[in-house]
């Protein structure tokens, strides 16, 4: 079981089944990506594998940010798929030992599969028997392709991580899409963490992982 309460203190997050995928939804600038990466970092501190799929940051920035979160990081247990499209499809191993896969565009769905497969293989070779995956952000992919494709993509990725016993965390900017799109996309996931800006700061609630939705709590 994955215990996420060290990052977000909710009863529902104390024992998340391996293979679960969670959607993290909230408006822009509410710290969704930071939350997902912190949940990954928490696993890395316990020796788990970490796979970051980024549409917004360069792989080298993801890695240096990650080093700050996990100072004694075994970098061979960190892998990154970077689809900012600054190079054509290629892979590299950084001097620190991280495996990085580059895609030419966030619309390159086949390449995502190849990149993720290669990253998982590299993490397994580094001895990571379990791990966590962060996809930041689905909103970018939704600007490249339609709701149907993104739903299916999420469903297939969730199933893949289920068979690998990974924990999946996917962020989406709830302000960038209509309610119907969010209603559809969230069905591809086992649960959802919602974030909002309350009167006294940020609040979160957890839905779908255990019984009724939790109450909003300040974070």
Partner 1 sequence: MTGSETPVVLIVEDEPDVAETYNLWLADEYEVRMAESGDEGLSKLDEDVDVVLLDRMMPGLSGDEVLDRIRESGLDCRVAMVTAVEPDFDILEMGFDAYLCKPIRSDQLHETVENLLERSTYDDLLQEYYSLVEKQATLEATKSSAELADNDEYQNLQARMGDLQTDLSETLGGIEDDEDFIATLRGLGDVEEQ
Query: Applying CB under 8 A, which residues contact partner 1?
Result: 104-105, 107-114, 117, 144-145, 148-149, 151-153, 155-156, 159-160, 163, 179-180, 183-184, 187
| Rounded least distance, CB 169 to partner 1, Å | 19
- Of the pair 95, 148, the CB lying nearest partner 1 is at 148
35 and 170 Cβ atoms separated by less than 8 Å: no
| Rounded least distance, CB 112 to partner 1, Å | 6
- Of the pair 158, 171, the CB lying nearest partner 1 is at 158
Kindly report the number of other CB atoms within 10 A of residue 156's CB atom.
14
- Of the pair 61, 143, the CB lying nearest partner 1 is at 143
| Rounded least distance, CB 218 to partner 1, Å | 28
- Of the pair 156, 176, the CB lying nearest partner 1 is at 156
| Rounded least distance, CB 4 to partner 1, Å | 24
Kindly report the number of other CB atoms within 10 A of residue 180's CB atom.
9
Q: Three-state secondary structure along the chain?
A: CECCCCCCCCHHHCCECCCCEEEEEECCCCCHHHHHHHHHHHHHCCCCEEEEEECCCCHHHHHHHHHHHCCCCCHHHEEEEECCCCCCCEEEECCCCCEEEECCCCCCHHHHHHHHHHHHHHHHHCCCCCEEEEEECHHHHHHHCCHHHHHHHHHHHHHHHHHCCCEEEEEEEHHHCCHHHHHHHHCCCCEEEEEEEECCEEEEEEECCCCCCCCCEEC
| Rounded least distance, CB 57 to partner 1, Å | 21
- Of the pair 73, 182, the CB lying nearest partner 1 is at 182
177 and 143 Cβ atoms separated by less than 8 Å: no
| Rounded least distance, CB 193 to partner 1, Å | 20
- Of the pair 108, 203, the CB lying nearest partner 1 is at 108
């Amino acid at each position: 079981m994955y215990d996420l309460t060290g990052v977000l203190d909710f009863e529902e997050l104390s024992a998340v089944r391996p293979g679960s995928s969670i959607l993290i939804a909230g408006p822009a600038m509410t710290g969704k990506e930071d939350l997902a990466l912190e949940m990954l970092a928490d696993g890395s501190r316990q020796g788990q594998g970490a796979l970051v799929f980024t549409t917004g940051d360069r792989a080298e920035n993801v890695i240096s940010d990650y080093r700050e979160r996990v100072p004694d990081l075994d970098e061979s247990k960190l892998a990154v798929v970077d689809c900012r499209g600054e190079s054509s499809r290629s892979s590299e191993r950084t001097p620190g030992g991280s495996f990085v896969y580059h895609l030419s565009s966030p619309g390159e769905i086949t390449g995502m599969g190849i990149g993720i497969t290669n990253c998982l293989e590299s993490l397994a070779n580094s001895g990571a028997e379990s791990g966590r995956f962060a996809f930041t952000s689905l909103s970018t992919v939704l600007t490249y392709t339609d709701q149907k494709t993104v739903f299916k993509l999420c469903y297939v990725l969730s199933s893949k991580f289920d068979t690998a016993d990974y924990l999946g965390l996917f962020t989406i900017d709830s302000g960038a899409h209509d309610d119907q799109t969010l209603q559809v996309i969230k069905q591809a996931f086992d649960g959802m963490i919602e974030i909002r800006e309350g009167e006294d700061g940020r609040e979160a609630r957890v839905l779908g992982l255990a019984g009724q939705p939790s109450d909003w709590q300040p974070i």
